[in-house]
Amino acid sequence: MIERIKNIINPEAKQIDEMSSNEMIELLIKLNKCLRCLDSEEVRSDGMIAGDMVAPTREVQDKVLDYLMSNISKIQDKRSKAAITYYTLLNLHMFSDGNGRTSRFMYDLISGDLSDDNISYYFHSDSKQTKENNNNLEEIKGILDITDVNKFPDLILKAKLDFVPRELMENYNWITVGHSNSSPDTDKILPSDVVRNLSERELQNLDCILKDGYEMNLCPSGLAVLYVAQKKGQLEYWIDKNKSEQESEFSVPGRFNFSIYKNPDSIRDWNIEDFRELISVGNAIKFARLKSIIDIFVEPQKYIDLDSGNTYADIILGNETNQEKEIEHRRT
């Protein structure tokens, strides 16, 4: 079964790190169809949401894949290559279904662990064994949960976001847009002329970015709105609003919330170019976050935990050591 899938998705047996991004996309589409037992159905999808994880826009997906494929050959260790491919594909969430299955298959393909014995990783089934096993790759491989991995960009980007006022960085640890399941549709809070004049793709991208505000501190949604609000002279309004809301018993400690879904009047005077800039900034933040995770593996010595002395890559892979004990051992 496994060999048959490999022959379908990569008939020339080309090495992953020799592929272009377009070749990788073609391989992934074939693989996703195989794992879902589909033939001609379109499987790529935009605006996918899995729990609190929001897929990036198509533009960012393609840009991230291009960056990954341009740099994966610089990573020597197969396990590191497998891990960064796995995390990247999960974060991109390119398909309407089967993203986890596709990511797990690619991890084992690159690491050399593909086996019919691991079939429960790759296919959904009604069997009890498959249901118990198909989501625990991270635990079995000894690598960090993706939720924890996605916190590393907060550490890396914090010093690089020079447009974020120091007051916000010092007093708040979560900058977001307050979207929830009970929020109105995004097009309902936008000025009507903006809805009429933005393209369908732009409206979809805007919706995607504004919902991307959880499971991280420096969110594409919050930072994109902050950037535009600051240019329009509205930041003081939001600072005062958040200070007053922190006194409420329902406030979330440490959260700076651009609650535009509850307060649509705050963006009533925004024009179409303001929202296009929001999309541009949101895409740039999302790309920077995903790029930084790839960089952790491409240039591990640049990203070191100062407390332990371990690289971020070793922490993610479960390879960390107690540096202080090692130094003391060498001395004795």
How many Cα neighbours within 13 Å face the side chain of 275?
28
Tens-place pLDDT, residues 220-253? 999 999 999 999 999 999 999 999 988 877 789 9
**Residue 95 bridge partners (DSSP):** 44
Contact 102, 32 (CB under 8 A): yes
Low-confidence ranges of the chain (pLDDT < 70): 124-135, 322-332
Contacts of 90 (CB under 8 A, 6+ apart): 53, 99, 100, 103, 146
Contact 300, 84 (CB under 8 A): no
Tens-place pLDDT, residues 152-174? 999 999 989 999 999 999 999 99
Q: Which element (helix H / strand E) includes 233? A: none
Helix axes 220-231, 200-210, angle to 10 degrees: 110
Q: Tell me what pLDDT residue 124 has.
A: 67
Distance of alpha carbon 113 from the chain centroid: 25
Q: Residue ranges of the domains in the chain?
A: 2-142, 153-293, 299-331
Q: What is the pTM of this model?
A: 0.92
DSSP letters spanning 108-150: HHHHT---GGGHHHH---SSHHHHHHTT-HHHHHT---HHHHT
What single-letter amino acid sits at 316? I
Q: Residue 240 and residue 229: Cα distance in Å, rounded?
A: 14
Count of beta carbons in the 10 Å neighbourhood of residue 275: 24
Q: Tell me what pLDDT residue 322 has.
A: 65
- Token pair 């995770």 is at which residue? 293
Contact 274, 232 (CB under 8 A): yes
**Residue 138 bridge partners (DSSP):** none
